[in-house]
Every structure is written in C-alpha cells, then in structure tokens.
Amino acid sequence: MTIAVEQLSVLDVSSPPPQPRMSAESISLGVSSGGVALEPTTPVGSTQSAPSAPSAPSGPVAGVWIGAQAVAERPTSGAAWDSIVSAAREATADGANLADMNSNHDSATLAAALVAVRTGKADHRQRAMAALEGAIGTEGNQRWLDIMRNLGGYIIAADLLDVRSGPVHAWISSYKTRTQPHNNEGHPVTLRQNAWSSGSNASAQAGFVHAAMAAYLGDAQELAWGWNGFRRYAGDRSSPHRLGSNDSAWQVKPSDPVGIQDAGATKNGCRLDGAIGNDMSRGGAFSCDPGMTDYPWVGLMGAVPAAVVYARAGYPAWTVADSALLRAADYLHELSRTADTSWYDAERAPQAKHLLNVAYGLGYPAPLPTGVGQTIGFTDWTHPDRSSIGR
C-alpha cells in the first residue's frame, strides 16, 4: 500500500509556536567459594516490589516512547535535531524492507514522524504516513531477527502520529498472532515465542518490539507477559517466565538461567556480575579476560529500549534485579579498563549508551548525536533526561 508523495530534497522544518549441569568451577555471590560450586540461596530480584504478573503498574506516562507534548518541547536546532531532519529526508513511500536487517528506512520513518509532530506541518505527516504504509508486507517470509531490527521504529512512528485504526494499525496488530521463521531452525514461531526466549541478543531485540507493540495497542495483558520476560532476562528469578541458555559456564545458576548474571557473582575469582551470559559466550568460554564479541551490545540495543517502554508504562525496569542494566553496562565498562578498550568504545550502540548514561547518571563514552540506530535512533533528542525515560 503506497501513498504518492513528492520527494523533497530539503525539508521545511520551521515550526509553528509550540538447563545444564553446574560445572565444578567456583561460582560465588560476592565471596570466594574455595573451589566449591555454589548457587544463590535467595532468588535475584526477590527484594524487588514487582509482582509476578503485575496488572496495575504505577505512574505510566503518555507515549510508548515519547509523548507529543514532550516532542513539542524539544529543540529545533543543534546536532541532534539536524540528524533527525537529515534522516527524515530518506523516508520514502517505496524504500521500506523489513526483511533487510541493515535497512535504515525504519529510522527515517521515525525521524519523519518526529519532524511531523514537532513542526505540525501536514506535508511532513503525509511523508511519514506514506513511509509507514509502504512498510506493510515487506517482511515477506524472512526470519524474525531481520524484522526485529526494523519494526520498533515503525511502531513508535505510528504511536507518535496517533494512528489508531486503518491499515498501519491492523498491520501492527497482526504481530500478536503472525508467525515468521525461527532465527536458527526455520520453523514458524510467533513474536511471543521469540521474545525473551533466551538471554540472547535476538531475543532481547524481539522483546523490545513486543513491548512496543503491546504498549502501542494498549494491551495490558500482553505488556505484563513481556514484563515478566524482561524481569527474567534481567536476572529476577522470582519471575514465572523461563528462558534458555546456550552456555552453562556463563550462568551463575545453570539450572535456572537468566540473561544478566547476579549482583555480586564471581567465578574463579573473576567478576560474573552483570555479564549477559548468552552473548558473552559468543566470544568463547568463560574467562577473566573473555574473547571480544560485539553481541552484548547487540543485546543491549534490545534490552535498553525495552526498559524505556516498560518504565514509561509504569514498571520498575531500571531498578529490577539490583539495577541489572546498570550492572551490565558496568561489567562491559570494567572489561574496557582491565582487558580490551573495545568492550566499551565510543562507536557501538551509542543510542543505548546514551540512555544508560541518562538512566543511571553515568559518564561513560557515548558519541553524540546518537543518530540512526540498529533498533532505535535519535535517543539524545528524544530522551535528554531521566523523566523522559520513566524515572
């Protein structure tokens, strides 16, 4: 479905007034176990106030990602705004391809929606809607991983443009039941079956999309299900959700795996606290000096945006499981100081790094403007302070 719209070389953006066995290696929670394998006796996150299936989260704020009023208050000058305007020029009616994980059309469409809402101009809204409608059906029979890299931006664009009926709304709603090929095995699975199914990067990115979809549709039951998945990913073993692990050596409790490992956990005298087990294992076996891999940051490009959605919906995503996302960031930052600077460089995942800095008051490297992202972009403009991320 396509809406013809004139290709503009320059945008007028002036705005009107406004389950494996435990190894024999030493694992402990904060103390050396003298070579005896230990499992935590208290479930991680048991001190958190979130119930197993919360039905009435406290303090939700308007907008899945950002509300229209907040957009109206954002600046229309500076590098962050310029990056949005530049990306919005690429929001064409025929450029979408959800089957291509490297497509930036989702980011361009989100940028066009931000420009449309900020300026209030009808031609910008038309451009954004044309780009949104042009994305319908472009997923084909592609695996979930490729689709998940793109879909979140489209959902947030639809929410910003207040699309509550019609083809775009129906298309997003279809993701509650539609199936696409499994990332590795190829058999058809739903978004729910993919989201938070493991501690892996693909599962976290699917989790972000599931959260955005549920929040956009106003489906409290679906959102609560996803919250339990996020809690388990974060390390909260009081969650009824279960996920898989691909390497027991990177798990504090292999019989009860989580994504981000327990606060205070060590193994063989080395830090395990904050390690995203599945993604760290992509660099090799557990080690005090682990093999370099980008996958933890790929995972955080799903988990961190998901935290924004859950927090804005009223869930304590930033503090669950002893501030799991803070511990995950700190683990990688510590590796950059003690092992390889590439673990927390100034290049990868700047969108997530900026959000982490805002959420926790960090000063870790995060190049600005954040620009187009793998799952979401422009976070320095949309989320400049803690209130904007639900804190």
Comparing CA positions, the residue from 321, 134, 133, 361 lying closest to residue 229 is 321
Given this model, what pLDDT does residue 295 score?
97
Comparing CA positions, the residue from 127, 121, 138 lying closest to residue 87 is 127
Given this model, what pLDDT does residue 58 score?
56
> Cα dihedral sign for 197, 203, 206, 210?
positive
Architecture (CATH level 2) of domain 27-40+90-389:
Alpha/alpha barrel (1.50)
Distances (CA, A) of 71 to 39, 120, 387: 47, 11, 13
Given this model, what pLDDT does residue 346 score?
78
Given this model, what pLDDT does residue 57 score?
57
For the chain, the distance separating the N- and C-terminal CA atoms, rounded to the nearest angstrom, is: 39
Main-chain phi, psi angles of 214, to 5 degrees:
-60, -45
Alpha-carbon distance of 150 to 302, in angstroms, equals 11
Comparing CA positions, the residue from 148, 141, 132, 147 lying closest to residue 95 is 132
Q: How would you classify the pairing of strands 265-267 and 270-271?
A: antiparallel
Return the amino acid letter for 50. A
Q: What are the structure tokens assigned to 267, written together?
A: 């193994």
Number of H helices, E strands in the chain: 14, 5
Alpha-carbon distance of 355 to 49, in angstroms, equals 23
Largest alpha-carbon pair distance within the chain?
70
Residues 252, 261 contacting (CB under 8 angstroms): yes
Given this model, what pLDDT does residue 329 score?
98
Cis peptide leading into residue 369 (ω within 30°): yes
Alpha-carbon distance of 278 to 198, in angstroms, equals 8
Q: What are the structure tokens assigned to 284, written together?
A: 């090799």
Q: Which long-range contacts (CB under 8 A, 24 or more apart) does 56-64 make?
A: 57/227, 57/313, 57/314, 57/315, 58/314, 59/314, 59/390, 60/312, 60/313, 60/314, 61/312, 61/390, 63/159, 63/160, 63/312, 64/155, 64/156, 64/159, 64/212, 64/215, 64/216, 64/309, 64/312
Spell out the per-residue pLDDT of the chain, length 391, in tens.
Answer: 333 333 333 345 544 433 322 333 334 444 333 332 333 333 333 333 333 333 345 567 889 999 999 999 999 999 999 999 999 999 999 999 999 999 999 999 999 999 999 999 999 999 999 999 999 999 999 999 999 999 999 999 999 999 999 999 999 999 999 999 999 899 999 999 999 999 999 999 999 999 999 999 999 999 999 999 999 999 999 999 999 998 999 999 999 999 999 999 999 999 999 999 999 999 999 999 999 999 999 999 999 999 999 999 999 999 999 999 999 999 999 999 999 999 998 789 999 999 999 999 999 999 999 999 999 999 999 999 999 999 8
Q: What are the structure tokens assigned to 46, written together?
A: 């048991």
Alpha-carbon distance of 332 to 356, in angstroms, equals 12
Which DSSP category does 388 fall into? G
Given this model, what pLDDT does residue 290 score?
96
Given this model, what pLDDT does residue 60 score?
75
Given this model, what pLDDT does residue 23 score?
33
From its phi and psi, is residue 218 left (phi > 0), alpha (psi between -120 and 50) or beta? left
Comparing CA positions, the residue from 212, 308, 197 lying closest to residue 242 is 197
Beta bridge partners of 190: 179
Q: What is the 3-state secondary structure (H, E, C) of 319-376?
A: CHHHHHHHHHHHHHHHHHHHCCHHHHCCCCCHHHHHHHHHHHCCCCCCCCCCCCCCCC
Given this model, what pLDDT does residue 50 score?
35
Main-chain phi, psi angles of 193, to 5 degrees:
-70, -20
